[in-house]
Amino acid sequence: MDLSAFFVELANVWPRLLQGSIATVTVSFQAIAYGSVFGSLLGLMIFYGRMPARICGWIYLDFIRGTPVLVLMLASFYIVPLAGLGLSATGAGILALSAFCSAHVAEVFRGGLAAVPPGQAEAAKSVGLTFPKILFYVLLPQVLRQALPAWINAAVEIVKASSLLAVISVPELLLTTQQIVSRNFMNAEFYLVCGLIYFAINLTLSKFGKLVEKRLAF
């Protein structure tokens, strides 16, 4: 391995790596945001909904969790244009990642609700709170605190899974790296750099999660 050549090349391509990293973070962030909103609603539906709604929720969960993310992504990539939604490849990728994220979050959220002792809701009822208020003021704060570590884990999974957008030609970090090495042939060096960037992004995410967790601790 020629180190000086590597650093010269790194100086050349770092703006592209930065662009790729930003794309990875942006895509992951959107998927996590959409997935979390939809996943929370789904979790509520599975925990409190009527039987038919629950069954639909479970079928969706099992279907998404049983299918590889790559298959979700390819399906979304090929099917979405048919539906005439006018989504770009990036949009199709985000859709697939959001679906994947929502299944994780729904499960985390449902587990969190189940872990709150039933006495909590009863105590809230006995002081005359209505269901939405019980949910917002009593249950959700406890669920969020309890589910935070698992939610951060899900977020890390999404960042990792965003690399699959490379397969549908969205130039995020991994595809950018592939394009770089196909020109300079420094495969080992730049795949390692790529790994270090993912490592840094996810470590930041985990550390941030730990920080919030400490803040929220009671």
The interface with another protein within residues 134-163 (CB under 8 A) comprises: 156, 160-163
The interface with another protein within residues 69-108 (CB under 8 A) comprises: 69-72, 74-75, 78-79, 82-84
- Give the torsion sign (CA, 148, 152, 154, 158): positive
Q: Indicate the residue type of 110.
A: R
Q: Which residues contact 44 (CB under 8 A, 6 or more apart)?
A: 109, 113, 135
Question: Quick check: 34 binds another protein (CB under 8 A)?
Answer: no
Closest approach, Cβ 82 to another protein, in A, equals 6
Q: Name the residue with tokens 């951060």.
A: 152
The Cα 195–Cα 120 span in angstroms is 45
Nearer to another protein, 90 or 162 (CB): 162
Closest approach, Cβ 68 to another protein, in A, equals 4
Closest approach, Cβ 206 to another protein, in A, equals 8
> Of the ranges 3-11, 48-56, 118-126, 201-209, which one interacts with another protein (CB under 8 A)?
201-209
206: tokens are 């985990």
2: left (phi over 0), alpha (psi -120 to 50) or beta: beta
Contact in structure between 25 and 94 (CB atoms under 8 Å): no
Closest approach, Cβ 198 to another protein, in A, equals 4
The interface with another protein within residues 53-72 (CB under 8 A) comprises: 62-63, 65-72
The interface with another protein within residues 158-197 (CB under 8 A) comprises: 160-164, 166-167, 174, 178, 181, 185-188, 191-192, 194-195
The Cα 38–Cα 52 span in angstroms is 18
Identify the three-state secondary structure at position 128: coil
Residues of the shown chain interacting with another protein in the complex, contacts defined by CB under 8 A: 62-63, 65-72, 74-75, 78-79, 82-84, 156, 160-164, 166-167, 174, 178, 181, 185-188, 191-192, 194-195, 198-199, 202-203, 206
